[in-house]
Structure 1
């Protein structure tokens, strides 16, 4: 699994941990090991620009996902074909505020947002209540199994 992590935010992050999380989640979702993923941490100004340009929404957001090959999760014994999942863009400055409100660390919030972004790249959404329950339950399971293993 090729996971490229770039930190352009000025906020200190453990790039190896985010790469390990991505590998854990993609393996659990039976994504082909030759697939590629990019994770980028950006500052508030950059995220604001992306949010306005791609979502037509004002201000920064916490995470955005930009799918490429529209891969979907595989099944046990039947992995996805190899491909490029796309890019996950995270804004640590927004995550700081969200982490404080949720009562956990910024690192934990960024790990949660990374998992969320990966699921979006694989076609999961939370537009309706059933989709939200499915996506958030899977997000929680992936993050907890990752955290339990470190």
Structure 2
């Protein structure tokens, strides 16, 4: 599993932890071990540009996902085909504000957003209440199993 983490945000972050989390999520979702994923941490200015360009929404957001090969979760013994999963772009400044409101650390918020972004790459969404329940439940389970194992 190739996971590339690039931090262009100016924040000090443990890139290896984000790569380990991504591998945990992709393994749990039975994504082919030959697949590739990119995680990028950016400044609010860069995130604002991406948010306007791709979502037609002003200002920075916390996470954006850019799927490539539109891979979907596999199953035990039947992983996805190998491919380019896509890019998850995170904005630590926005995550820091959200973390303060939620009462946990910026690192915890960024880990949560990483799982959220990867699930979007795998086709999950939360536009409808039932989709939200499924996605957020899975997101919580994946993050908790990762944190329990470290």
Same fold (TM over 0.5): yes
Q: What's 1:51 paired with?
A: 51
Task: Give the structure 2 partner of residue 74 of structure 1.
Answer: 74
Aligned counterpart, 1:92 = 92
- How many residue pairs get aligned? The number is 150
- 1:4-48 deviations in Å (ceiling 9; x for gaps): 000000011100000000000000000000000000000000000
Pairwise mapping of residues 60-139 of structure 1 onto structure 2 (< 5 A)? 60-139=60-139
Partner of 2:18: 18
Partners of 2:77 and 2:137 lie apart in 1 by 23
Runs of 4+ in 1 over 6 A off after TM superposition: none
SS of the counterpart of 1:86?
A: strand
| TM-score with structure 2 setting the length | 1.00
Q: Runs of 5+ in structure 1 lacking a partner?
A: none
How many angstroms does 1:120 deviate by? 0.1
Aligned-residue offset at 1:104: 0.4
TM-score by length of 1: 1.00
Secondary structure, counterpart of 1:110 in structure 2: helix
The answer for unaligned runs of 5 or more in structure 2 is none
